[in-house]
Amino acid sequence: MASYLPVECIREILEYLYDDTNSLYSCLLVNRNWCEITIPILWRNPFGRSLKSTRCKMLINTYVSRLKTEEIPSELITIPNEVSTFNYATFLRVFDCEKILFAFHYWAISISSLRLFIFKLLIQHLIANSPKFDRIDFKKSMLFSDNIFLFPGARRSFSKVRNCNFFGEYTKGLIDSCASVAKDIRYISFRCLEPQHSNVDDDNITSDSSMDGLARLIRSQRQLKKILLSDGRCNTIFKNEIFESLTTQSDTLTVIKFLSLNFHENFPLKHLLLCKNLKVLKIVNCKNYGNCIMMAEKLQQFHQLKAITFSSSRLPFELYRKLISLAGYSLQTVVLMGKVFAEVSLPNTFTNNSQVASNPPSNFMLEPFIEMCPNIRQFLACVNENQIAYLPSLLRSCRNLKRISLYDQKYQARSFYSSIRDMQTINVENLLAEIGRAMPSSLIKFNINMNWKFSAEVFGSFLQNICDTSSKTTILSKDTRKDMRVIRKTQLQRLSFQFCTCMTDEHLEMFYMYPIESLNVLKIRGAEGISEDGFRKLGDFFGDCVSVPQKFRKRNTDRD
């Protein structure tokens, strides 16, 4: 039956198996048609799979078998007598310099001389035979200093690149040449690891020319959608020309990420605002944003900005508040991790209350979202004890909220033991019931990755308020203001208190008194006061949706 399927259908099906190498190998053995469809998928990015020594040698041998024998002196290496069935270089779509070089080093261990010569021939062969590359990755200096965009066939093979990643040191003129060849790049990632000073004379290192080339590369694109700018040393001066070049892509840019940048008092807020279709803004581990008071003038809105990530961003509070206010109603996803604010006191212009003004800005981290962003659907943040007090107000203001995840500053995703050991215990006895009352019916996931402390009675009030089927809603119209009772039903599916050590059998009893029908995941891994009988009863009530507390995991491990 498989032989009667149209080729287009078979190809569409096999594309779903792109990451399943074993299944693809089975498919190519079905018949000749399936083989001809499967081979291009397998060899699209062969260096992106596991690169063990035997596989590296096989890959390079396969490509070398297609090199012209007259190009390589016979005393250097022996070219395989049997030429491969396919010219596999024609299927290559991902040109990853670092991984190709890595595989070549394994293959060339037995070669004592002229490695550079052979490697250059291999690269020229790949470029000359591939009809087009979808992605190019420059993650490391090549063995040679030649500009590969000037190799034979490069203009054709690189002209349709969609994803371009620069990471490390670059041959002089490389980025400029890329700008002249590739005009339809959708994603540019520029991670600078080289010193950026104008007095560098080495012909093989680009110094300021990398920055000039990057600006030209950005300006030359027709439909650039995403860009990442990063500096591994966090001291490179990114020229203003680069930020100005972003405005040439104002109609198409949707994602901008700044990673480990030192803005040198020159944060490009005005340039970002000109990107009218910007949907995602990420600022991670950056510093020195500049005088934010000068940014306080009236600016246009981010009308399309749906997601903001501030992670260890050390933002001045004025800039933090300004960015959130400019996103306003369009903002739907918020991620606040690590040290969001710089170590400065809150400006007096923020509030007339002298007591509030003396508090650190971090205490007011949630306040701008409460005031200006009612359409948030996902909210993930590292919070402290003072910031939690704003949580009920945030829940009331964001009535379409789907997911909220709160993290302790000591949270470690890969280590439960370290996290629960280092976390501060926070008493929410006077707040938890109010959080349940404020929770919107749209909420699906409520994750607390913190060690909250609360009594069983308060926990019962929390669950009861979630389950309460009636709420008072105010309806506003042009002519009338009317209060009415509306029916709501919680959609909560996931409830996580996995780092809360205070949970006991008495807390579990509250689930039976105020059951949440929609709940299908319950995480209480850190619960220390639960008995085996209590956990067994909970399992019988909820089924497999309850995570096993850590205390019982240890016991089961000991028995095994």
User: What size, in residues, is the chain?
Assistant: 560
| CB-based burial, 423-458: b 16+ in 10 Å, e otherwise | beebebeebbbbbbbbbbbbbbbbbbbbbbebebeb
Alpha helices in 186-342 (DSSP H): 208-219, 240-246, 269-273, 317-327
Task: Return the residue matching tokens 């923020």.
Answer: 350
Is the Cα dihedral 101, 103, 105, 108 positive or negative?
negative
- Using DSSP's 3-state secondary structure scheme, residue 283 falls into strand
- pTM recorded for the entire structure: 0.85
> Are the CB atoms for 137 and 93 separated by under 8 Å?
no
Reported as a single tens digit per residue, the pLDDT across 455-499 is 999 999 999 999 874 444 444 444 544 444 455 688 999 999 999
The C-alpha atoms of residue 332 and residue 307 are separated, in whole angstroms, by 6
Name the pLDDT band for 560 (thresholds 50, 70, 90).
very low
Reported as a single tens digit per residue, the pLDDT across 221-252 is 999 999 999 987 666 778 788 999 999 999 99
Reported as a single tens digit per residue, the pLDDT across 153-171 is 999 999 999 999 988 666 6
Reported as a single tens digit per residue, the pLDDT across 115-150 is 788 888 899 999 999 999 999 998 766 667 788 999
Mean pLDDT, all residues of the chain: 84
> Are the CB atoms for 319 and 289 separated by under 8 Å?
yes
Q: What pLDDT shows up at residue 350? A: 47
